[in-house]
Structure 1
Amino acid sequence: MKKVLITGGAGFIGSTVASALLDQGITPVILDDLSKGRAEFVEDRIFYQGDIADPALLDRVFAEHPDIEAAVHCAAKIVVPESVARPLYYYRENVAKTVDLLDSLQRNGCTRVVFSSSASIYAPTPDARVDETCPVDANSPYARTKQMMEQVLQDWTRAEGAEAIRVIALRYFNPIGADPQLRTGLQDLNPTHALGKLIEAHTTGAPFTVTGVDWATRDGSGIRDYIHVQDLAEAHVAALTRFDQVVPPTAEDRYRVINVGTGEGTTVRELVAAFEQAVGARLDVREAAPRPGDVIGCYTSVDTARDLLGWTARRTIAEGVTDALTWRAKWAAHLGTTV
C-alpha cells in the first residue's frame, strides 16, 4: 500500500497515524477542516482543508491522487459531556456527514475503509473485560454516533452494488501520550480526559477530581484500558498493510471489528498513583459524582488484534505519561504560553 486518505489527519490520533504511515513509507493524504486539528500537524504533508461531507472536494482529492488505496476515517467530535448537551450537533457531524463521505468514497472507487470506532459502545460487563463478541449498548450521544456508524458501515458492505466495499472497525480504548518523536500530540493544553486532567493538576497545582467513586471496580473508580497513541497508530498501519488478509476481497462477511487496547484494566485511582510515581510528586486528589455520560469503563481482550494484525501494544503507562508531559512542554512553548 502506497497512499492512504486520512480524514481528521490534523488531529491528535489522525496525525499520529499519518506519522506512523510515513515511517513505513506510506504516503498519507490528509483531509481536515481544522476545527480541532492543527495546521502545524500537516506541514510538509499532502493536505486538503475542508469538510468530509463536501463531494466536490472529495472528487478533487481522488482526481489528484488516483492511487489512494484506502481511507482511514478519524474525523469526529469526541467530547462526551458536549455530546450530551448538543446531541443534534454530534449526530450531524459524526453520522450524517460520514454517510456523505462514504458516498464519495464509493463513487471514487475507494473500497477499503478503516474506521475509528470506540470501546465506549460496549455494554457493561460484570468484570469490565470485553472482547469483540460482547454486546454493545452505547450510553452517550457521542458513543451512540459510533455505534450507529458501525451499523451503517456494516450495512454498506452488504448493499447491492457495493460488493467490493470492505471495512475494518478499530474500537479504540483510551489513547494517552504523544508521538515519541514529538512531531504531534494533543492540540489542547488542558484536555478533558483523565490523563489530561492529571497533567493540568501537576503543572498548575489545581486539584484532580475522580469523577465517580462508587463504580463496581476494585477501588470504586472507573476502569479504562490506557493505550499509548503510538501503539494505536501502529495498529492502523497493521490494519492497512494486512487489510486484504483480514478482509479478503472474496470474503462473505466484509466487515471486521478489532479491539485496540493493551489488555490491562487500570482504574482511575491506579492511574493517579502511576502518574504520581512517574512525576515524583503527590497531587491534591478529590472526589465527585460522575459527569453526564460517564460509564464504568472497560478493558479488552487482545487476542483478535494479535491474531489478525500481528500487533500488540508495547508501551507502558509511564511512557505515555512521560511523552504527554514532554509534548505539552514543547507545545506550550510553541503557543507562547506557560505550562
Structure 2
Amino acid sequence: MKVLISGGAGYIGSTVASACLDAGITPVILDNLVTGRGEFAKGRAFYEGDIADGALVDRVFAEHPDIEAVVHCAALIVVPDSVADPVGYYRANVAKSLDFVSHLLRNGCQKMIFSSSASIYETGADFTVDESSGLAPQSPYARTKAVCEAMFADISATQPIRILSLRYFNPIGADPKMRTGLQLRRPSHALGKMIEAWEEGTPFQITGTAWPTRDGSGIRDYIHVWDLATAHVAALERFDTFTEDVINLGTGTGTTVRELAAAFNEVADRPIEVVETGPRPGDVAGAYTRTDLARRLLDWEARHSVAEGIAHSLQWARLREEMLG
C-alpha cells in the first residue's frame, strides 16, 4: 500500500510515516514546511508545497498513481495562536482543507483519514467522552477541526470519497527509534514547557488551578505519539471493514497537569520547580476518552505509559539539536 501524508514532515505526520514504513506501507510526504522539517522527510518521497496547490497535488498523483489513501495531518495547532489569529487559522485549516479535498476528488482518491482533535468535545461531568458525546469547541483551533469534520461529512455523503476522522487527545513522546520527535524548540504544551523548565532551570507554570478536577489543574489524555501513529496504520489497514466515520484515540486515563509534573520529576534526572498561574487564552479543563470503539474496530489500544512518553520526550530533547540544528 502507498499513502499520501499531508503534513508528513511535522511531529504527528512524520511519526505516522515511520509507523507506515515499519508496517510495509510506503508514505509519500506533502508538506509546506511552515512548521514541518525537511529532515523528517529524508529518505522518503517528498513534495514541498501547499495542500491547496492543485497543480502540485495533481503532480503527486501523476507520479504516484498507486496511492490508495490519504492521511491528512496538515494543520496549525497552537490554541493561543488561534485566538490571536483566527483568520490565519481558518484559512490554513479549513479553506485549504476544502481545496485539498477537491484536488483529491479530481485525482480519484476515495479514502482519507483526517487527523482531528478531541478538543471539539463538550466535556462531561466526569471529564470522559466517547464518539457520541456532544461537541462544544472552545477555541478557534478546535472550531476549525469541528468545521472540517462537518464539511467532510457533507462531502463524503454525496461524493466518491470516504473520510474517517480520528479524534485524538494530547500526544507526547517521540518515535522510540528517535527518527523524529517534536520539531519545535519551544513547544507550547505542558510537557514541552516542563522540558523547557528542566533545560533552563526555570520554574514550570501550571496555567490554571481552579478547574473542577480532582486537584484543580487541567486534565488531559496524554497519548504516546507512537501509539497514535500505530492507530493510524491500523485505520489504514482496516479502512474497508467498518462504517463508522469517527474514532477516538487516547489512553482512556485522565492525567492532571499536577500529576504529569509529578511523573516528570520521577523520570527526569533532576526535578523541576512547579509554580501556579492563571489559564492561557482558550484553555479548558480538559477531558479523556473511553476507548471501546478503537479497541473493537482497530484492534488497537495505547501501550506506552505516560512515564515512557516523558522519557522518550527527554531523550529526543537531548538529540534534537544534533538532528535538526
Q: TM-score range by the shorter chain?
A: over 0.9
Quick check: 2:39–2:324 contact (8 Å CA) kept in 1?
no
1:227 aligns with 2:223: yes
Partner secondary structure for residue 170 of structure 1: strand
How far apart are residue 280 of structure 1 and its match? 4.5
Partner of 1:314: 303
- Structure 1 residue ranges (4+ consecutive) displaced by more than 3 angstroms after TM superposition: none
Taking the aligned partners of 2:323 and 2:141, their CA distance within structure 1 comes to 31
Taking the aligned partners of 2:322 and 2:9, their CA distance within structure 1 comes to 19
Where structure 1 has 5 or more consecutive residues not aligned to the other structure, the ranges are 248-254
Quick check: 1:21–1:28 contact (8 Å CA) kept in 2?
yes
Taking the aligned partners of 2:102 and 2:272, their CA distance within structure 1 comes to 49
Taking the aligned partners of 1:275 and 1:207, their CA distance within structure 2 comes to 13
Deviations 1:222-265 (A, max 9, x none): 00000000000000000000000023xxxxxxx61000000000
Taking the aligned partners of 1:309 and 1:213, their CA distance within structure 2 comes to 36
Quick check: 2:113–2:164 contact (8 Å CA) kept in 1?
yes
Taking the aligned partners of 2:131 and 2:283, their CA distance within structure 1 comes to 21
How far apart are residue 167 of structure 1 and its match? 1.2
Taking the aligned partners of 1:246 and 1:110, their CA distance within structure 2 comes to 18
Quick check: 2:220–2:287 contact (8 Å CA) kept in 1?
yes
1:188 aligns with 2:159: no
- Output the aligned Cα RMSD: 0.9
Partner of 2:87: 88
Deviations 1:163-188 (A, max 9, x none): x3211100010000000000011001
Partner secondary structure for residue 117 of structure 1: strand
Taking the aligned partners of 1:40 and 1:221, their CA distance within structure 2 comes to 36
Quick check: 2:197–2:203 contact (8 Å CA) kept in 1?
yes
Deviations 1:47-89 (A, max 9, x none): 0000000010011100111100000000000000000000000
| Residue type at the aligned position of 2:310 | V
1:5 aligns with 2:38: no
Partner of 2:321: 332
Partner secondary structure for residue 245 of structure 2: strand
Quick check: 2:166–2:246 contact (8 Å CA) kept in 1?
yes
TM-score (norm 1): 0.94
Where structure 2 has 5 or more consecutive residues not aligned to the other structure, the ranges are none
Partner secondary structure for residue 5 of structure 2: strand
How far apart are residue 202 of structure 1 and its match? 1.0
How far apart are residue 5 of structure 1 and its match? 0.4
Taking the aligned partners of 1:26 and 1:246, their CA distance within structure 2 comes to 20
TM-score (norm 2): 0.99
How far apart are residue 333 of structure 1 and its match? 2.7
